[in-house]
Chain A
Amino acid sequence: MDTGDTAWVLTSAALVLLMTPGLALFYGGLVRSKSVLNMMMMSFSSLALITVLWVLYGYSLAFGDDLGGGLLGNPTDFWGLQGLMDAESLVFTVPSLAFVGFQAVFAIITVALISGAIADRARFGPWLLFSGIWATVVYFPVAHWVFAFDAATGVDFVGGWIANDLAALDFAGGTAVHINAGAAGLALALVLGKRKGFAKDPMRPHNLPLVMLGAGLLWFGWFGFNAGSALGANGLAAAAWVNTLAATAAAALGWLLTERIRDGHATSLGAASGVVAGLVAITPACAAVNPMGALAIGLVAGILCALAVGLKYRFGYDDSLDVVGVHLVGGLWGTLSIGLFAVLNAPGAFDNEGLIAGGGFSLLGKQAVGAFAVLAFSFVMTLIIGFAIQKTIGFRLDEESEVEGIDGVEHAESAYDFTGGGGGSLSGHGHLPTATTATTTLASKGRTS
């Protein structure tokens, strides 16, 4: 056990945890004021529900010994995280429970990311049901495919097929997190259908400073996501850290440049979106490329995603907050970009070389297989889960409630008190249990006392 490595992994896990509240702010600011609380609740509920599932059986499904074909871990190996508190229980150089915590927060945010595709219109209970089923049959298996290395979490344990058999590179989750969530978002947007007034009525972001704050928190937490995936306090982590910084900066510039040329203005939402696009793209690649490669990956990601967010209007799917345009497209680009930009001397390239460095097409091919396998699996499974929920208990909010605002209907709350009047003296029509009722009424209606 290495104390330095352990300190870094525990710190990184806390950083990644903060990304989900950050995402709640990012998504929350993007929706209209009548649905910001529901939007944020879809992230916060993921923090609650997915953590519980992770402890019960999620970790074991992802990191238990392989049941066959590199497809799924054994749910009984670590049921309830049993056996992992022993001092000898290590994953590489850190206590197993440090690794459990670090991987838990990945599962949480992947589920939360999907919610951006279905803003304003998903009933909360069905969303929770969807979250639990999706994590169980999609995320936990895919985490096994991508993150479970042979013999990492148990002696003689066999890991997942993408990490070991295919040996595609995904350092921090371009496939398992971003392609996975992006494909699920697309499927769920198709299941739930368009919001009333989509592409006709203005659905402006109600609070861009919240979006900027959320983007800042995401960026901050993402250093734990990427550099923490080194699972050690070492040069691998440092390389991932600097590449994460470089790509993100280039992507923000790329997005702003695209907007300036296409729309005439560089927008704050463009800057925030570019940041996220760059973070997504560099996630799988952050240890396998050099900083110049990271700049190129980021710049392309910023431009590509700025263009991709327009696809939903062309094809008519209401991916409300651009989970597809940013996470699916950015995740695909980042995963494939390793096949172009990987260099032998990068600490996380593991003797692979990309096309541009002269390594030929073999790595690019492996990256494509991993990326499209996760895309197809997630998309199909999500369609099935989503339709099953819609046809049984119903997933979509009714139209009247959607127009009225999901916050009031699903949560009996409103985000903001706009009544003014000196801070709320006019607010609300409710009363405390002890309040007395009026003793007089309008003369035109007859006095009662």
Chain B
Amino acid sequence: MKLVTAVIKPHKWEDVREALETFGVTGMTVSEVSGYGRQKGHTEVYRGAEYDVALVPKIRIEIVVEDVDVDDVVAIMVKTAQTGRIGDGKVWVSPVDTVVRVRTGDRDGAAI
């Protein structure tokens, strides 16, 4: 099993969710996060004073999937979240030892 984590632009979140759902992903954890990469921040002006705002808002998606599905899920995320402009985000994959479904106690494959 793998944990797929994606940090994407907020306006792409709905597209990514739809594409994953169509593919068959049944659930995910989503959070509103902020950070920066090469994109850096942006400038805001309040009463004439310019502020460089370092952090930009992003959406983080976390999904645990079976090993066989990892490449497809990553490909779908990258394809649907892509705008081609700086600040599109990142997707990364990490190994997962154990998953337990709280309601039933099912483990691993049965719990995904």
Query: A361 near B: Cβ within 8 Å?
Result: no
Interface size class on chain B is 10 to 19
Are B49 and A267 neighbours in the complex by a CB distance under 8 Å? no
Query: What per-residue 1/0 map shows which CB atoms of A248-270 lie under 8 Å from chain B?
Result: 00000000000100111101011
Q: Which of B47, B48, B53 contacts A202 (CB 8 A)?
A: B53
- Contact assessment for B51 and A204 in the assembled complex, using a CB-CB cutoff below 8 Å: yes
Asked whether B53 lies within 8 Å of A204 as measured between CB atoms, the reply is yes
Whether A306 pairs with B48 at a CB distance below 8 angstroms is yes
B51 — which chain A residues lie within 8 A by C-beta?
202, 204
Do most interface residues of chain B lie in helix, strand or loop, or is the interface mixed? strand
B53 and A269 form a contact (CB under 8 A)? no
Residues of A within 8 A of B68 (CB): none
Interface residues on A, range: 10 to 19
Contacts of B50 in A (CB 8 A): 263
CB of A309 within 8 Å of the partner chain: yes
Complex Cα–Cα for A276 and B23 (A): 55
Residues of B within 8 A of A273 (CB): 47
**In the complex, which residue of chain B has the Cβ closest to the Cβ of A259?**
B48
Q: Which one of B46, B48, B52, B53 lies within 8 Å of A205 (CB-CB)?
A: B46
- The smallest C-beta distance from A273 to any residue of chain B, in angstroms, reads 6
Q: Tell me which of A199, A264, A265, A269 contacts B47 (CB under 8 A).
A: A269
Q: Are B45 and A265 in contact (CB under 8 A)?
A: yes
A358 at interface, CB cutoff 8 A: no
Instruction: Give A264 to B45 CA distance when docked, in angstroms.
Output: 9
A101 CB, min distance to chain B CBs, angstroms: 34
In contact, A262 and B53 (Cβ under 8 angstroms): no
A262-B48 contact given A202-B53, A204-B53, CB 8 Å threshold: yes
B30 to chain A, nearest CB (A): 12
B14 at the interface (CB under 8 A from A): no
CB distance from B103 to the nearest CB of A (A): 17
| A313 in contact (CB, < 8 A) | yes
Q: Cβ of B49 and Cβ of A310 under 8 Å apart?
A: yes
Taking CB atoms and an 8 Å cut-off, the chain A residues in 263-320 that contact chain B are 263-265, 267, 269-270, 273, 306, 309-310, 313
Question: Which residues 14-50 of B sit at the A interface, judged by CB distance below 8 A?
Answer: 44-50
Q: Which residues of A contact B48 (CB under 8 A)?
A: 259, 262-263, 306, 309-310
Give chain A residues whose Cβ lies under 8 Å from the Cβ of B46. Answer: 204-205, 267, 269
- Inter-chain CA distance A112–B47, complex, in Å, is 21
B47 touches A309 (CB 8 A): yes
**From B54, which residue of chain A is reached at the shortest CB distance?**
A202
Q: Which residue of B lies closest to A310 (CB)?
A: B48
Taking beta carbons and an 8 Å cutoff, which residues of B are in contact with A? 44-53
Q: Which 4 A-B pairs have the closest CB atoms?
A: A202-B51, A263-B45, A309-B47, A310-B48
List 15 contacting pairs A-B, 8 Å CB cutoff, sorted by A: A202-B51, A202-B53, A204-B44, A204-B46, A204-B53, A264-B45, A267-B46, A269-B46, A270-B47, A273-B47, A306-B47, A306-B48, A309-B47, A309-B48, A322-B47
